[in-house]
Amino acid sequence: MAHSTSHALSSAFMTQFLRNAGGTAIVDGGLATELERHGADLNDPLWSAKCLLTSPHLIHRVHMDYLEAGADIIITASYQATIQGFESKGYTTDESESLLRKSVEIACTARVNYYDRCNTSTPDESPDGRIFKKRQILIAASVGSYGAYLADGSEYSGIYGDSMTLEALKEFHRKRVKVLAESGADLIAFETIPNKLEAKAYAELLEEENISLPAWFAFNSKDGIHVVSGDSYSECVSIAESCRNTVAVGINCTPPRFIHGLISSIKKVTTKPIVIYPNSGESYDADLKEWVQNTGVSDDDFVSYVNKWCETGASIFGGCCRTTPNTIRGIYRTLSKR
């Protein structure tokens, strides 16, 4: 009985949240590029997780920027934060776990500080376009894929080699997922999932560890039909759909032009809310570890896509790599008009 009750609870969780938000909700945008803009140096295999160590105030600042741009869901700076990654830098297991918890604490503090500002600010929007509207805000604890830990771009290929079995993937993620599930976040965001095996590992892990926190599964695609490894997108969504924690399924870190078709294929498999946070469409050079300039879409184009995605059936929107608070503010204005 416990299973079916928690399943009903998790399904109701996002439906209720969306109802309170007016039918649609907004996720924040890119983290790493914003941290760099504020002066962080991310040239490190730990990438944005490095800021948990060196400059947590910058992470807090970026979270605040997104809340003031209208985001309803803040994703923690734990995408690249793994216990194995921290340990390889000489941190103990305890220190590594506390860094994971710290990513959630920073986001929760930003939410409290934002609510304080909302209480003292009138009207809802300041002359410089900052939004101070009291609303329910969720903290999503980010879990990046095994490929993100490797820091070799393999989350964009999904090819992990034959030695990475289902059991090995579960062991890789187990402790981290447990720590984040108990950290005070409202949900877990499994992001940039590049293959079916990792989706299965997450779903089985939640079940085995009896974790009751809601979760969303966001996959990435480079052709609009498959996830990046070549596995069928629909089959991946089916795995997420069958997991009792799942409150939304969707797409992140994927060029905007593929999203429309992917939403249609998700709808054939699930009736759960669909979350969409694409990248700007720029291409990433894994060898140079940098973005190829001028290959993406403008904020205006990105925002005009949102209306189409909304009409196709998605209800949670944000941005991934190379999107900014301006992108999110544009989405906020567009959705406010609906």
C-alpha–C-alpha distance, residues 112 and 37, integer Å: 24
Q: Are the C-beta atoms of 181 and 198 separated by less than 8 Å?
A: no
Q: Are the C-beta atoms of 145 and 194 separated by less than 8 Å?
A: yes
Q: Are the C-beta atoms of 177 and 113 separated by less than 8 Å?
A: no
Distances (CA, A) of 208 to 80, 201, 205, 211, 243: 23, 10, 5, 8, 12
In the numeric block, which tokens belong to residue 104?
């959630």
- CA angle (29, 32, 34) in 5-degree steps: 65
Contact partners, residue 331, CB within 8 Å, separation at least 6: 26, 70, 303, 306, 317, 318, 319
Q: Output Rg (C-alpha) for the chain, integer angstroms.
A: 18
Is 236 annotated among the ligand-binding residues? no
In the numeric block, which tokens belong to residue 194?
């590049």
C-alpha–C-alpha distance, residues 84 and 93, integer Å: 9
User: In the block, which residue shows the tokens 């209800």?
Assistant: 315
Is 321 annotated among the ligand-binding residues? yes
Contact partners, residue 157, CB within 8 Å, separation at least 6: 147, 194, 228, 229
Q: Is the dihedral of CA 231, 233, 239, 243 positive or negative?
A: positive
In a 3-state reduction of DSSP, which class is residue 147?
helix
Contact partners, residue 34, CB within 8 Å, separation at least 6: 62, 65, 324, 325
Binding-site annotation: residue ranges for Zn(2+) = 253, 320-321
Binding-site annotation: residue ranges: 253, 320-321
